[in-house]
Amino acid sequence: MNFLKSIVGILPFVGGIVQAVESLFGHGNGASKKQAAMSGVQSILDAFGSVTGANVSGSTLAADLGKLIDATVAVYNDLGIFTHGAAAPATSTK
């Protein structure tokens, strides 16, 4: 239960991290994007734990973060925030 109480403090950041990773990696690369998002969320959790003294570690932390990120991506997909169409054509710098 300590983890659930602690994670409430970082929930607002998860969506931002997921969106930032999506914009950096673009379409595809799901496993790489998930790992990058998990690293970002883990960094936020570590900082949160340092500041508040909350216990944000646990044997299921990686699995829990993965589920949280998967759920965030699913919601963004359902809302149309992330689209999976063809990539936009490159613009010329001439």
Which residue ranges make up each domain of the chain? 2-79
The pLDDT, as a whole number, for residue 36 is 93
Encoding tokens for residue 61? Answer: 């932390």
CB atoms < 10 A from the CB of 33, how many? Answer: 19
Binned at pLDDT 50, 70 and 90, residue 93 comes out as: low
Tokens found for residue 51: 């500041």
Reported pTM: 0.70
Structure tokens at 85: 């169409």
Q: Answer with the residue of higher pLDDT: 86 or 29.
A: 29
* 31-62 pLDDT, tens digit each: 999 999 989 888 887 887 788 787 777 667 77
**Other beta carbons less than 10 A from residue 69's beta carbon:** 22
Find out whether 75 and 82 touch, Cβ atoms under 8 Å.
Answer: no
